[in-house]
């Protein structure tokens, strides 16, 4: 199984960015923890972070023949990006959307997602543990579709 793990803008600052909202773990800690779990399940994980919408769109398209599924925290692009949604639809792979915070308890502009309608499911509000849940969910999804 080959799974993309995509992180959107400002998530490179995890650990220092509003830790009361996003937790104290760094992005590297989240990635290496997830790589460890993935390796134990014989999953090949490719992680990517960008602050640029275009780079995220290109990364998704560039991996159309590599990936079996996509885990993505689109961060602020969740609420704005038709381009990322279209890229995800274009590659036609199962998507799990992740948010560290519970966006539904926050500002109203965070409560609309362009990504959710094309995702298999959404995990939010569990902090970094949400990535573990998302990986587990994706493995189940891909096993079912075997």
Residue 84: its H or E element: helix 82-91
What tokens were used for 87?
Answer: 């890229």
Segment 89 to 128, residues that bind ligand DQA, using CB under 6 A: 99-101, 103, 110
Query: How far apart are CB 21 and ligand DQA at their closest, in Å?
Result: 7
Segment 13 to 72, residues that bind ligand DQA, using CB under 6 A: none
Q: With respect to ligand DQA, which residue has the nearer C-beta, 81 or 139?
A: 81
Query: How far apart are CB 43 and ligand DQA at their closest, in Å?
Result: 22
Task: Say which residues have a Cβ less than 8 Å from residue 99's Cβ, sequence separation at least 6.
Answer: 73, 78, 122, 123, 124, 125, 130
Q: Are 67 and 4 in contact (CB under 8 A)?
A: yes
Residue nearest to ligand DQA (CB): 75
Query: How far apart are CB 101 and ligand DQA at their closest, in Å?
Result: 3
Q: Are 91 and 67 in contact (CB under 8 A)?
A: yes
Q: With respect to ligand DQA, which residue has the nearer C-beta, 12 or 44?
A: 12
Q: Are 142 and 2 in contact (CB under 8 A)?
A: no
Q: Catalytic positions, please?
A: 22, 99
Residues lying near ligand DQA in the complex (CB under 6 A) = 10, 73, 75-76, 78, 99-101, 103, 110
């Amino acid at each position: 199984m080959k799974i993309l793990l995509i992180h959107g803008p400002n998530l490179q600052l995890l650990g220092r960015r509003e830790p009361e909202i996003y937790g104290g773990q760094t992005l590297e800690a989240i990635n290496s923890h997830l790589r460890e779990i993935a390796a134990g399940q014989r999953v090949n994980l490719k992680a990517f972070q960008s602050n640029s919408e275009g780079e995220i769109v290109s990364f998704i398209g560039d991996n159309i023949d590599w990936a079996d599924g996509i885990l993505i925290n689109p961060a602020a692009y969740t609420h704005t990006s038709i381009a990322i949604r279209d890229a995800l639809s274009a590659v036609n792979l199962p998507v799990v959307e992740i948010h560290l915070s519970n966006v539904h308890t926050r500002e109203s502009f965070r409560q609309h997602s362009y990504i959710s309608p094309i995702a298999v499911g959404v995990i939010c509000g569990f902090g970094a543990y949400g990535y573990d849940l998302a990986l587990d969910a994706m493995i189940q999804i891909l096993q079912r579709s075997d």
